[in-house]
Amino acid sequence: MANTKSALKAMRVAAKRRLRNRAAISRMRSTSRQAQAALAAGAGEDAAASVMSAISIIDRTAAKGIIHKNQAARRKSRLMKKLNSLSAKA
């Protein structure tokens, strides 16, 4: 347990940030899963729209510093790779 006033405040702030970050990460993962499900279903226009939505949320999460920019790039790259392979098949 913290001993000083500043350490107690730091704990409160960290708890608030942790909740906010968890919500943002959860939103990012959910949209990524939805995009991957649309890609697996093979729905062309729907898959492209869901991938673009997921990429937007991934970018926002990285911009806020919740995830590293390289992790964001990796996630976006993997989604686009699947989308491009789907469109190449069609």
Domain ranges of the chain: 5-89
What tokens appear for 22 in the block? 């968890």
Residue 90's pLDDT is: 64
C-alpha–C-alpha distance, residues 63 and 90, integer Å: 34
Residue 1's pLDDT is: 77
Residue 42's pLDDT is: 81
CATH superfamily name and code, 5-89: Ribosomal protein S20 (1.20.58.110)
Closest CA to 35 of 61, 55, 63: 55
| Ranges in the chain, pLDDT < 70 | 90
